Structure 1
Amino acid sequence: MTETATDFDVLIVGAGISGIGMAAHMTEKVPGMSYAILERRENLGGTWDLFRYPGIRSDSDMHTLGFDFEPWRHEKSIADGPSILEYLDQIADERGIRQHIRFGHKVIAADFHSAQARWHVTIEVAEGERKHLTANWLYLASGYYDYDEPFDPGFDFGEFEGKVVHPQFWPEDLNYAGKRVVVIGSGATAVTIVPSVAKKAAHVTMLQRTPTWMFSRPAKDGIANFLRKILPEKLAYRITRWKNITLQDKGFKRAREKPEKVGEFLHKRIRKIMGKDFDLTPFTPPYNPWDQRLCLVPDDDLFEALRGGKADIVTGQIAAFDKGGVTLKSGDELPADIVVTATGLKLAVAGKIAVSVDGAPIDFAEHFYYKGCMFSNVPNLSVVFGYLNASWTLRADINSDYVCRVLKLMRTKGVDIAVPLLADDHGLEEDDIFDFSSGYIQRGKHLMPKNAVGYPWRLNQEYVIDRKRMQSDPVEDGILALRKAQSAAPAAVAPDSTLVA
């Protein structure tokens, strides 16, 4: 892309769903462009390689968490971790992506040199050993949470004599057979762990500070499996994918428009499983459905564990940990041999990489999102932050496709730099970037880039609209400036770290 030789046209950070997806899109849409995937771990898969707790599974259907270019072939659409890894491994091998992955490469810093139109990337490859690579474009597919540290709610485990485990670092040799287990939390991780651990444990208690809205559905998509029998595989996948996208979108919008009706619907499903006289208090949150992401309960597994007496749910606040378990502020005691702190994740932006332009640090919280993909006045950089109200991969796919369109046009025009320009006196009206009350979202909002009310300076939660705009709007929209490095004056960086031409 430039007359000066570089290591790669594109460096992709992260070999999870987003990174593998970008590589696959590049292989198909911009053949001939060089790329490498830098992965800090020793295996691909990202979240699906890191998390090893019992029952690890998707909380979205795989017809939308899967890629638009690769059908999901398993019978279960709510898939376990190993099946998702198998899917990613297959894509990496069949498309020749694995040979482009550099494992054990942790990206520490990235500085864009405007005069060269190159990112200079600093990588840690071993204890105390660092190396450098350069590329014209940096694609951050490093996820949304801190791989090194989970959220710490500040528990003092005092005299507790049992074992404390966080799901993000689940020990391979943890033996919970016949043990009393308390799982602190009521989110997707806790809802997954409780029924799985209950199969072997003496008893499992899910201790929640506040309830969560839960939605039960079969792990198998009957319509999808029927369509696969009568239609070509790719056509059946496309139909199922669009069906599920439509249902997700309508369900979310109905929850926002008529939350009471949706709450009644969710409660009705639970009572159908648990009995008409079941006390719904543990499943009645103080907020509306979809103010936080719904928790999926595939095949009623959590409710079956509750009905069978292998698990229960307690709502309360922790007063202290004593030798034998947990004491609540109500005075109730929960005996425990193992405490699982499913208390959430820490949000991280850009994989905690120190990003700079011509040596000046970039604070993403001072920049606006551009099309949910790039950032105001930051050149040759794109990122994936998936949808909160739909599957992550829906955003990853449209972002990858869009960046490939930009790269292709840059190659055609013989330019080196693409940057969404925003003047200092832009006058944009800011919007709440996430209209969700989830704890990890609220704790990390100060780290997130800015969001405007009007498109394109925002991160939308509207996949159908985003997909249409990203595919059909012209790349040269009067905002995204394309230019040659050698024809541009050296960039100056304002005090707020905003790159200006």
Structure 2
Amino acid sequence: MAEKFRASLPANDVLDILIVGAGISGINAAYRIQSHFPKYTYMILEGRGQMGGTWDLFRYPGVRSDSDLFTFGFEWSPWEKLSPIADGESIRQYLHKSASMHGIDKKIQYGHLLTNASWSSKDCLWTLKALYGRQQLQYKARFLVFGTGYYNYNEPLEAKIPRIEQFQGQTVHPQFWPEDLDYANQQIVVIGSGATAITLVPSLAKKAAKVTMLQRSPTYILSIPNKALKRPWYCHLLSQKLYFMVRRLLWIISGRLFIWYCHRWPDGARRMIEKSTTQQLPVQIPYDPHFNPSYRPWQQRVCFCPDGDFFKSLQSGKATVETSIIQEVVPDGIVPASGKKLAADIIVTATGLQLQMFGGVKIEVDGKPLNPSEKYMWNGVMIQDMPNAAFVFGYTDASWTLGADITAKFICKYLKYLERQSYRAAVPYLPESISLLPASTINLQSTYVTLGAANLPKSAAESPWTGRKGFIPDYAWLKLGRLDRGLTFIK
């Protein structure tokens, strides 16, 4: 079958698959492709000097996963440790080990920044331009996989903080944490209340004189045990491989059940989280307003803190929380609207990410620019009018890798379908006569998502022009859904 598809190659130097990005998404896609198509040629272009994507970029104190590694890890390379939450260094080591075990690391071209991707319907090929230092290189490929994530690696989200230029201390964004920053015995204000802030506060509090988390509005925070979990009795009845499969499945099910409960009975979920939070707060910090969000659980992402480390830092007195908008920044701190000045030597702007698709690559189809933000997603994996290309998009209410693996498995199924039908390419096509009602691509109401929504492809409620629907419906579509609906094929 592979030979039928490869017979259309005009030259020996044309790649079958080109993967952009050597993070979680790119490494997983590479494994699936080489497992299903051992004769296919593929390459991974990575703009940075190391593999790992987010986990190589983010180096702020305490950086860790915000979902369990049993499902965040690869299905084909189980997370063998017993603790579900892992720090950044452990995740980097895991990625290197997983990639090297299967020779994926030898397929990566580091320091190769893809800048342009141009599709030719005449040749059924992508022409790619990449920068390697000052040298411009060119590649050709039949199929593209964008494992570039959904945010800008080079520019953080610029938060509008009144008079921040007046501050005479050091301002730091977690995305670009200085390696030589000495924050011992310093007064630190962390602006934000998301997963990054919840991670930073307890880590900084170990060395800093005082850490204040300044939030405009609170978020839901849940403590989860992260000490080495004991293996249950039934694991002794199973092989190691089967045990890892069962453990992964149980974590997938329990995670989906929790989210379903939050959506189905939001008041009950709110009370449950309130009870857990109140029990861990010191007497001087009240639940309301600091931990009582105005929205329902999972309208924004629920934050998890392993072994309650965030609350322990509050109990120690080394950390505290303030809920208020910022009135102004002064040379030695921040004055919130409450009027209570917060002294600061360092301000950390943990205010979110700047959303960006395709890593900022300029895309053309038959000589015409294609703007992904003006197009609809096809089943959450392809983009309208963009032939032979998949964009890896994970989940925001579950482990990213679960969605990334759905995409990788779809790519393999899609390529096999092209082989069987003797097609060279396919493009998601939406007739002008069909009118769709746009829906949110990322089903969260976080500030950075709202601000960056215009940079994302559109989604609709009508199939197949939807984004991610959830692991179970996406998996069902992968196994049972039609691949020809909404696609135009090229012989």
TM-score of the aligned structures, taking structure 1 as reference length: 0.93
**Corresponding position: 1:444 with 2:422:** no
Which residue of structure 1 lines up, in the alignment, with residue 393 of structure 2?
385
**Corresponding position: 1:416 with 2:424:** yes
CA distance in 2, matches of 1:359, 1:167: 39
User: C-alpha deviations, 1:60-97, integer Å up to 9, x for none?
Assistant: 00111111221111121101111111111111101011
CA distance in 2, matches of 1:368, 1:256: 26
Which residue of structure 2 lines up, in the alignment, with residue 497 of structure 1?
none
**Corresponding position: 1:86 with 2:93:** yes
Q: Which deviates the most, 229-238 or 356-365?
A: 229-238
Secondary structure of 1:119's partner?
strand
Q: 2, 11, 17: which one pairs with 2:18?
A: 11
Secondary structure of 2:475's partner?
helix
Secondary structure of 1:415's partner?
coil
**Corresponding position: 1:298 with 2:306:** yes
**Corresponding position: 1:45 with 2:13:** no
User: C-alpha deviations, 1:336-356, integer Å up to 9, x for none?
Assistant: 111111111100011111111
Q: Classify 1:194/1:277 alpha carbon distance in 2 versus 1 (closer, same or farther; 3 Å).
A: closer
TM-aligned CA deviation for residue 480 of structure 1: 2.9
TM-aligned CA deviation for residue 434 of structure 1: 3.3
**Corresponding position: 1:399 with 2:413:** no
TM-aligned CA deviation for residue 221 of structure 1: 6.6
Which residue of structure 2 lines up, in the alignment, with residue 153 of structure 1?
159
Which residue of structure 1 lines up, in the alignment, with residue 124 of structure 2?
117
Q: Classify 1:51/1:229 alpha carbon distance in 2 versus 1 (closer, same or farther; 3 Å).
A: farther
Which residue of structure 2 lines up, in the alignment, with residue 271 of structure 1?
278
User: C-alpha deviations, 1:126-145, integer Å up to 9, x for none?
Assistant: 13x21111100011000010
Q: Classify 1:229/1:339 alpha carbon distance in 2 versus 1 (closer, same or farther; 3 Å).
A: farther
Q: Classify 1:167/1:276 alpha carbon distance in 2 versus 1 (closer, same or farther; 3 Å).
A: closer
CA distance in 1, matches of 2:328, 2:318: 24
Q: Which deviates the most, 84-93 or 452-461?
A: 452-461
User: C-alpha deviations, 1:121-160, integer Å up to 9, x for none?
Assistant: 1101113x21111100011000010001111113332332
Which residue of structure 2 lines up, in the alignment, with residue 490 of structure 1?
none
Which residue of structure 1 lines up, in the alignment, with residue 80 of structure 2?
73
Q: Which deviates the most, 281-290 or 224-233?
A: 224-233
Letter of the 1:111 partner, please give it.
S
Q: Which deviates the most, 214-223 or 24-33?
A: 214-223
**Corresponding position: 1:434 with 2:442:** yes
Q: 142, 145, 152: which one pairs with 1:136?
A: 142
Of all paired residues, the percent bearing the same amino acid is 39
How do 1:86-485 residues align onto structure 2 when only pairs under 5 Å count? 86-127=93-134, 129-155=135-161, 156-220=163-227, 222=229, 231-274=238-281, 279-281=286-288, 282-475=290-483, 477-484=484-491
Which residue of structure 2 lines up, in the alignment, with residue 30 of structure 1?
37
Q: Which deviates the most, 132-141 or 369-378?
A: 369-378
Q: Classify 1:40/1:119 alpha carbon distance in 2 versus 1 (closer, same or farther; 3 Å).
A: same
Q: Which runs of 5+ in 2 are unaligned?
A: 1-5
CA distance in 2, matches of 1:158, 1:478: 53
CA distance in 1, matches of 2:443, 2:101: 39
TM-aligned CA deviation for residue 230 of structure 1: 5.1
CA distance in 1, matches of 2:337, 2:284: 28
CA distance in 1, matches of 2:166, 2:85: 40
TM-aligned CA deviation for residue 233 of structure 1: 2.3
User: C-alpha deviations, 1:428-457, integer Å up to 9, x for none?
Assistant: 343333332101111111122121212221
Q: Classify 1:195/1:416 alpha carbon distance in 2 versus 1 (closer, same or farther; 3 Å).
A: same
How do 1:57-68 residues align onto structure 2 when only pairs under 5 Å count? 57-68=64-75
CA distance in 2, matches of 1:330, 1:274: 21
2:377/2:384 contact within 8 Å kept: yes
1:271/1:278 contact within 8 Å kept: no
TM-aligned CA deviation for residue 366 of structure 1: 2.4
TM-aligned CA deviation for residue 223 of structure 1: 6.1
CA distance in 2, matches of 1:140, 1:264: 41
Q: Which deviates the most, 326-335 or 162-171?
A: 326-335
1:75/1:225 contact within 8 Å kept: no
TM-aligned CA deviation for residue 174 of structure 1: 0.6
Secondary structure of 1:64's partner?
helix
CA distance in 2, matches of 1:364, 1:434: 15
Letter of the 2:396 partner, please give it.
L
TM-aligned CA deviation for residue 227 of structure 1: 5.8
Q: Classify 1:221/1:235 alpha carbon distance in 2 versus 1 (closer, same or farther; 3 Å).
A: farther
Paired residue total: 482
1:23/1:97 contact within 8 Å kept: yes
Letter of the 2:75 partner, please give it.
D
TM-aligned CA deviation for residue 323 of structure 1: 2.3
1:349/1:448 contact within 8 Å kept: yes
CA distance in 2, matches of 1:79, 1:227: 25
Q: Classify 1:216/1:419 alpha carbon distance in 2 versus 1 (closer, same or farther; 3 Å).
A: same
TM-aligned CA deviation for residue 257 of structure 1: 2.0
Letter of the 1:131 partner, please give it.
L
2:169/2:344 contact within 8 Å kept: yes
Which residue of structure 1 lines up, in the alignment, with residue 3 of structure 2?
none
User: C-alpha deviations, 1:252-309, integer Å up to 9, x for none?
Assistant: 2221222111111001111232368962111111111111000111110000000011
Secondary structure of 1:449's partner?
coil
Secondary structure of 1:222's partner?
coil
Letter of the 1:141 partner, please give it.
G
CA distance in 2, matches of 1:16, 1:274: 37
CA distance in 1, matches of 2:260, 2:329: 42
TM-score of the aligned structures, taking structure 2 as reference length: 0.94
User: C-alpha deviations, 1:308-332, integer Å up to 9, x for none?
Assistant: 1110001112222222211122221
